[in-house]
């Protein structure tokens, strides 16, 4: 009895457990089906919402009224005043920025700036962060500056002459583009060269400052005397004597003066350095077109009141006397183009032309008459005194000097000065050891030229560099380091020998290198130099 009852209870319990597990599984399958149905229903609802939702329109902000939480938006060429949704931060809304507007004309999202548009050139500044630009075919338009072209102080980040990307439909300029077909031919940045970096050219520097800086700093005195500032300056003299350095230093000084005069730390002058020989091209009219572009760029830069220097290096390669061309007389059209730019209807206010050459006799006479390149400054080869000043820029007391030389001289300054004197005494000896060539002038006069007759600032800098390399070589060999008299005398001797070997070429080349103006060289005989 008991045994039978016990077995029945066990069977019943097993069936109950099995039924329970079945119910659980069925319940889980039902719950999973319900969840899948809910997801499908939600997806269907989202798809229906997307298909039936109103379209949103892109617009461009022209002005934001933050106190009223509204903004003026340009949509399809028409201006609308739209409310700003509370989910959109006002700080994200600035003129020129794209926004999304719903069908209720409410701004619901702030987007980025457009990244395509037309390429135009800035010609002038206008109030309220606007600019005038030149479009194709010399058409001019007025554009607004987008937020990214306005500095934190509220000043434009572009200047007249800059190339910018603009959307002509919305009237906004968005980006400064560093691209122009004359960019490879010119350098606009102000050089990092100061008057203090130049030695032995005090007279030339003073003349340049009188010609360039005084008219800019004191224009009222010139106006009171009815005096016109010089239009151009010609720097002429032997190669390597500092003509380019002087032009760069003038630009640096003008930039500093411009900032002080305007009280604007961001104000600066411009230095357009034209690579003369690279401006020449075989295509007819192309060189003239590039000259026009250079002067157009300079005029645009100068509209802001800042001085612009156009520097033509190796000027004789571009603007030589008309009718002297060897293969083709390209100067017959290039020279008139430059004259037209200087004397043309468009003024060159605040534009200064500086030319550098070592053959001023080859430049067309029409360019160097008064009213054009009317200030002429000769940059001569350095004298003994000038050489000492130049060497002092390169051979300074803070260099590694020979310890015995310092002890003998009593101070590092005296030791450096002694090395400079050693170089000058050796280079300017004027004896047989420095004699290099004998030249005969067309007058019959015979003259012996020594090493110092070919001296230049570049040569003096190279002598110091040679001495420094000799000092380093001794240090690497385990010998006592530091510049010594032996190093500088060896450097001078090596420079004299090397330059003696370079003195060759046609009589025309000798005229360019040393010839007296108005008196040709008819014969050259090389001499030995130790």
Phi then psi for 302, rounded to 5 degrees? -80, -10
Q: Would you say the C-alpha torsion 226, 254, 379, 396 has a positive or negative sign?
A: positive
Same domain? For 521 and 445 the reply is: yes
Tokens of 215: 């008219």
pLDDT at 266: 61
DSSP-derived letter for residue 97 is: -
Pairing relation of β-strands 130-134 and 163-167? unpaired
Same domain? For 277 and 154 the reply is: no
The string of pLDDT tens digits covering residues 164-193 is 888 888 888 888 887 555 555 555 566 778
Contact, 483 vs 401, CB < 8 A?
yes
Residue with tokens 């183009």: 337
Contact, 188 vs 270, CB < 8 A?
yes
Contact, 243 vs 205, CB < 8 A?
no
Same domain? For 346 and 333 the reply is: yes
Same domain? For 461 and 514 the reply is: yes
- Number of domains comprising the chain: 5
Same domain? For 175 and 197 the reply is: no
The CA R_g of the chain, rounded to the nearest whole Å, is: 39
pLDDT at 530: 43
Same domain? For 221 and 165 the reply is: no
Pairing relation of β-strands 163-167 and 140-145? unpaired
Name residues whose C-beta falls within 8 Å of residue 44's C-beta, 6 or more positions apart in sequence. Answer: none
Same domain? For 275 and 334 the reply is: yes
Query: Which residues does residue 450 pair with via DSSP β-bridges, in sequence order?
Result: 435
List, in sequence order, every beta strand (DSSP E) within 327-486.
351-357, 375-378, 435-441, 446-450
pLDDT at 137: 61
pLDDT at 412: 93
Across the beta sheet with 521-526, what order do the strands follow?
A: 446-450, 435-441, 521-526
Same domain? For 246 and 369 the reply is: yes
Same domain? For 235 and 327 the reply is: yes
Query: Which residues does residue 185 pair with via DSSP β-bridges, in sequence order?
Result: none
DSSP-derived letter for residue 228 is: P
Same domain? For 192 and 167 the reply is: no
DSSP-derived letter for residue 485 is: H
| CA pair distance 334, 280, nearest whole angstrom | 9
H helices present in 180-242, as ranges: 202-208, 214-217, 219-224
**Nearest Cα to Cα of residue 492 among 472, 465, 525, 471:** 465
Give the orientation angle of helix 457-476 with respect to helix 384-394, to 10 degrees.
Answer: 40
Cα-based angle 497, 499, 500 (whole degrees, multiple of 5) = 65
The domain that holds 73 is classified in CATH as 2.40.50.140
Phi then psi for 452, rounded to 5 degrees? -70, -15
- SS3 state of residue 239: coil
Same domain? For 191 and 307 the reply is: yes
Mean pLDDT of the chain: 81
Which of 378, 408, 439 is the endpoint of a domain?
378
CA 12 to chain centre: 97
**Ranges in the chain, pLDDT < 70:** 1-14, 16, 49-54, 136-138, 179-190, 262-269, 276-278, 280-286, 304, 323-331, 344-346, 501-519, 528-530
327, 332, 335, 336: CA torsion to nearest 10 = -160
Same domain? For 251 and 353 the reply is: yes
Cα-based angle 200, 201, 202 (whole degrees, multiple of 5) = 100
Query: Which residues does residue 448 pair with via DSSP β-bridges, in sequence order?
Result: 438
**Nearest Cα to Cα of residue 205 among 252, 240, 238:** 252
DSSP-derived letter for residue 452 is: G
Which of 15, 36, 53 is the endpoint of a domain?
53
The domain that holds 210 is classified in CATH as 3.40.50.300
Which of 378, 407, 425 is the endpoint of a domain?
378
Structural domain span for residue 159: 118-179
pLDDT at 327: 44
DSSP-derived letter for residue 103 is: T
pLDDT at 460: 93
Across the beta sheet with 308-312, what order do the strands follow?
A: 186-187, 270-274, 308-312, 351-357, 232-236, 375-378
**Nearest Cα to Cα of residue 423 among 380, 458, 381, 452:** 452
């Amino acid at each position: 009895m008991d045994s039978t009852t016990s077995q029945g209870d066990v069977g019943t319990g097993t069936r109950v457990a099995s039924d329970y597990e079945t119910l659980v599984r069925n319940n889980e399958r039902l719950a999973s089906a319900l969840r899948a149905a809910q997801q499908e229903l939600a997806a269907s609802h989202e798809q229906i919402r997307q298909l039936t939702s109103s379209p949103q329109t892109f617009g461009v902000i022209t002005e934001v009224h933050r106190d009223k939480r509204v903004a003026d938006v340009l949509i399809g060429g028409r201006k609308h005043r739209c409310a700003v949704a509370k989910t959109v931060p006002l700080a994200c809304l600035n003129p020129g920025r794209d926004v999304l507007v719903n069908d209720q004309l409410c701004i619901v999202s702030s987007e980025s700036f457009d990244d395509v548009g037309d390429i135009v050139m800035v010609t002038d500044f206008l109030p309220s962060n606007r600019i005038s630009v030149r479009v194709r075919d010399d058409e001019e338009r007025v554009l607004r500056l987008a937020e990214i072209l306005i500095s934190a102080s509220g000043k434009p980040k572009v200047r007249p002459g800059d190339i910018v990307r603009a959307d002509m439909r919305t009237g906004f300029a968005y980006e400064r583009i560093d691209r122009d077909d004359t960019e490879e031919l010119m350098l606009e940045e102000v050089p990092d060269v100061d008057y203090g970096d130049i030695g032995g050219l005090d007279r030339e520097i003073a003349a340049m400052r009188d010609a360039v800086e005084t008219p800019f700093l004191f224009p009222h005195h010139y106006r009171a005397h009815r005096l016109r500032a010089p239009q151009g300056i010609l720097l002429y003299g032997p190669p390597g004597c500092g003509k380019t350095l002087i032009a760069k230093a003038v630009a640096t000084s003008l930039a500093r003066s411009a900032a002080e005069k305007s009280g604007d730390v961001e104000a600066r002058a411009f230095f357009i350095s034209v690579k003369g020989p690279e401006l020449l091209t075989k295509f007819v009219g192309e060189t003239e077109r590039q000259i026009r572009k250079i002067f157009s760029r300079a005029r645009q830069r100068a509209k802001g009141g800042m001085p612009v220097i156009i520097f033509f290096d190796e000027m004789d390669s571009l603007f030589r006397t008309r009718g002297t061309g060897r293969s083709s007389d390209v100067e017959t059209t290039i020279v008139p183009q430059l004259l037209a730019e200087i004397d043309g209807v468009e003024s060159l206010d605040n534009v200064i032309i500086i030319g550098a050459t070592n053959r001023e006799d080859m430049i067309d006479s029409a360019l160097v008459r008064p009213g054009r390149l009317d200030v002429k400054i000769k940059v001569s080869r350095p004298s003994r005194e000038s050489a000492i000043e130049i060497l002092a820029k390169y051979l300074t007391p803070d260099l590694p000097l020979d310890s015995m030389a310092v002890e003998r001289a009593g101070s590092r300054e005296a030791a450096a000065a002694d090395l400079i004197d050693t170089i000058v005494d050796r280079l300017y000896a004027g004896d047989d050891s420095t004699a290099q060539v004998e030249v005969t002038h067309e007058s019959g006069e015979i003259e012996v030229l020594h090493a110092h007759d070919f001296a230049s600032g570049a040569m003096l800098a190279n002598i110091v560099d040679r001495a420094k390399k000799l000092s380093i070589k001794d240090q690497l060999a385990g010998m006592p380091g530091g510049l010594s008299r032996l190093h500088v005398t060896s450097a001078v001797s090596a420079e004299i020998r090397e330059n003696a070997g370079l003195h060759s070429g046609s009589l025309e080349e000798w005229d360019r290198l040393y010839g007296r103006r108005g008196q040709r060289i008819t014969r050259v005989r090389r001499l030995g130099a130790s």
